[in-house]
Chains A and B, each alone.
Chain A
Amino acid sequence: MNAPLQIPQSAIAKPRLQPRLRRPLHAPDFAKVLDTLGAWVLALVWIAPLLFALWAALQPSGSALALDFSAPLTFQNFIDVWNAVPWAGYFINTLILVTLILIGQLVLCTLAGFAFARFEFRGRDALFMLVLLQLFILPEVLIVENYAIVAKLGLFDTALGIGLPYMASAFGIFLLRQAFKSVPIELEEAARIEGCSWMAVLWKVYVPAAKPVYLAYALVSIATHWNNFLWPLIVTNSPDTRPLTVGLSLFGAPETGVDISVISAATIMTILPLLVGFLIFQRQFIQAFLRAGIR
């Protein structure tokens, strides 16, 4: 799974067959110095908003914008946020929502992906085109009617109501279909000869073979739905179901007059779990997005 990001090191490490023609070997490499400088400046600019927020969150309320870097750091803002809103509740709601969606997606997309990859039947290809079309008909765009449907089903303001529209993910079906298609048919035949049923073949041959794809898809799904905002905003109405992003938006709106230090603290609290997860599983995360993006 780590292969693609590691290829170049070994490839570049090959001995050069031709001497460099354009400049002598020991002269300072200005282009490289410029590259390094540029890359660093851009990297610092890119994480500056995050660093400022982190620093602001640790400032006493009201003084963050004073930009006094000698001021003592405090965790008071985090305590204030924790006490001001049902943060633990939002956190649990997000956790439930993300888990629910992921389980639904894994089950539905596995079954459908398997059908598209290994079953022959009339209308399959036309159906697959319809599924692909859903990559473009975003659930976000259909908010008006989806809201009506969720309300009719009596699922307004429930975790299921937020999650249901995302479970039959066209993207997941597509990814798993590709993964299942690349499984050698001999493996399946061997299992069939041993008397495995279709379900057993799926469970014992295909699912284990597609493990890296599952991991990639799971990471992308978690990140997407942890961060999703517009749809949960529409179908939630109470602190009992509201996810973190919606809680944060209600809390952080500037016109509520909340201090920037407190907003920063709330923001940091919202993103911290995902951020820490990202920093720990960085390579897998980037790989996951890569794999997920190559359609």
Chain B
Amino acid sequence: MTRLPENNRPQNNLITLQKRRQALYGWMLMAPALALLSLFAFYPTIATFFSSLFSRGTTRHPSVFAGFENYGDLFADPTFWTVASNNLIYAGVTIPVSIIFALIMALWANAHIPARSFIRSAYFTPTILPMIAAANLWLFFYTPDLGIIDRITGFFGAEPTNWLGQPETALAAVIIVTIWKEAGFFMIFYLAALQTIPPDLREAARIEGAGRWTYTRRVLLPLLMPTTIFVFVNALINSVKLIDHLFILTKGGPNNASKLILYWIWEMAFAYFDRPHAAAMTMMVLLVLGIVAIAQFRLVEKRTHYR
């Protein structure tokens, strides 16, 4: 702050006073939200880290400091590698496929097509259903022999398949439900972005002799890039978060074939009461999410002109 001449001091004091009052009010307004955020986000993050460093206490052996032993246990556990690779496959398939579906849906929902609003609603409806309900709806498709899928394949003479009960297809069945659930949600963001693109661009491209595919690839996709990044980050977070349907469809089975990380954390903590290992696993998830967060903040900073 620039130094003010001596005779201006009273006013200067007034300004400091007002600044102090602003700060005080600011903190007071923030206090309730801050208290809850600390209690349910910041403190538990630290607490999770601490419990991940201690061994599991029993009545005979109280919990002792174990360093990174819990992490070592996880790495030595084949289940960890199965679950981690399942989640990688889950993310690796649901993210791109949902994005592609979302883009196609948005292009169609934005085109001049009869009953466009019905089509848009049909794409969007799964978004507002609970994951548990979505899983129940899909049971009807996956039930071996009697389910819709087996009816259809059976019509062509295929053997009935236990889609949810065999390791080869369980994860795929879970992935399909996730894509069905989230594609319509992502469509909305593309739809919003598409509507900001002036139609003259398309006309211009046509005059230049660019076909539809060229227009999509060279004009539309680059313009939609910021939306794609946003949707990508959301899909990435969803690939950690969306696990509710496992409770209905597979319970992570058979033989861990469809088990995902968050479900495993739940299982360790609340079915086997093994909090330290659950905490260690949670820490690793937080680490990955933190890296994603920082990467996104960096990206957003670079693109501030776009906001």
Residues of A within 8 A of B (CB): 4-5, 7-8, 11-12, 14, 16-18, 20-22, 31-32, 35-36, 38-40, 42-44, 46-47, 49-50, 52-53, 56, 64-65, 67, 107-109, 111-112, 114-116, 119-122, 124, 127, 129-149, 164-165, 167-168, 170, 173, 198, 223, 226-230, 233-234, 244-245, 248-249, 252-254, 260, 263-264, 266-267, 270-271, 274-275, 278-279, 282, 285-286, 289-290, 293-295
Contact B132 A278 (CB under 8 A): no
Q: A121-B27, A149-B40, A149-B43 are in contact. Are A168 and B33 (CB under 8 A)?
A: yes
B137 contacts the other chain (Cβ, under 8 Å)? Answer: yes
Contact B292 A275 (CB under 8 A): no
Residue of B at shortest CB range from A263? B136
**Which residues does chain A contribute within 8 Å of B27, judged by CB atoms?**
115, 121
Among candidates B119, B132, B180, B241, residue contacting A39 with C-beta atoms closer than 8 Å? B119
Rounded to whole Å, the gap between the CB of A262 and the closest CB of chain B is 11
Rounded to whole Å, the gap between the CB of A6 and the closest CB of chain B is 9
CA separation between A21 and B206, bound complex, in Å? 7
CA separation between A146 and B129, bound complex, in Å? 26
B158 contacts the other chain (Cβ, under 8 Å)? Answer: no
**Which residues does chain B contribute within 8 Å of A139, judged by CB atoms?**
40-41
CA separation between A31 and B29, bound complex, in Å? 57
Contact B212 A4 (CB under 8 A): no
**Which residues does chain A contribute within 8 Å of B131, judged by CB atoms?**
227, 229
**Which residues does chain B contribute within 8 Å of A7, judged by CB atoms?**
195-196
Task: Mark B109-149 against chain A: 1 for CB-CB distance below 8 A, else 0.
Answer: 11111110111111111111111111011111101001110
B286 contacts the other chain (Cβ, under 8 Å)? Answer: yes
Task: Mark B1-36 against chain A: 1 for CB-CB distance below 8 A, else 0.
Answer: 000000000000000000100110111011011111
**Which residues does chain A contribute within 8 Å of B269, judged by CB atoms?**
143-144, 147
CA separation between A11 and B200, bound complex, in Å? 9
Contact A49 B124 (CB under 8 A): no
Contact A136 B292 (CB under 8 A): yes
Contact B138 A49 (CB under 8 A): yes
**Which residues does chain A contribute within 8 Å of B275, judged by CB atoms?**
144
Residue of B at shortest CB range from A138? B241
Rounded to whole Å, the gap between the CB of A21 and the closest CB of chain B is 6
B184 contacts the other chain (Cβ, under 8 Å)? Answer: yes
**Which residues does chain A contribute within 8 Å of B42, judged by CB atoms?**
130
Contact A133 B189 (CB under 8 A): no
| Size of the chain B interface, CB-CB below 8 angstroms | 105
Contact B110 A8 (CB under 8 A): yes
Contact B132 A248 (CB under 8 A): yes
Residue of A at shortest CB range from B192? A290
Contact A275 B125 (CB under 8 A): yes
Contact A168 B286 (CB under 8 A): no
Q: A42-B108, A115-B29, A136-B289 are in contact. Are A142 and B44 (CB under 8 A)?
A: yes
Contact A35 B113 (CB under 8 A): yes
Q: A46-B184, A168-B32 are in contact. Are A248 and B136 (CB under 8 A)?
A: yes
Among candidates A17, A22, A53, A286, residue contacting B136 with C-beta atoms closer than 8 Å? A53
Residue of A at shortest CB range from B29? A115
B51 contacts the other chain (Cβ, under 8 Å)? Answer: yes
Q: A50-B125, A137-B45, A293-B189 are in contact. Are A121 and B37 (CB under 8 A)?
A: no
Rounded to whole Å, the gap between the CB of A179 and the closest CB of chain B is 14
Among candidates A47, A146, A289, residue contacting B125 with C-beta atoms closer than 8 Å? A47
Residue of B at shortest CB range from A104? B36
Contact B125 A254 (CB under 8 A): no
Contact B37 A271 (CB under 8 A): no
B69 contacts the other chain (Cβ, under 8 Å)? Answer: no
CA separation between A39 and B121, bound complex, in Å? 12
Contact B22 A145 (CB under 8 A): no
CA separation between A16 and B199, bound complex, in Å? 10
B95 contacts the other chain (Cβ, under 8 Å)? Answer: no
**Which residues does chain B contribute within 8 Å of A270, judged by CB atoms?**
130, 132-133
Q: A22-B206, A279-B121 are in contact. Are A112 and B30 (CB under 8 A)?
A: yes
Contact A11 B199 (CB under 8 A): yes
CA separation between A266 and B123, bound complex, in Å? 23
Rounded to whole Å, the gap between the CB of B58 and the closest CB of chain A is 17
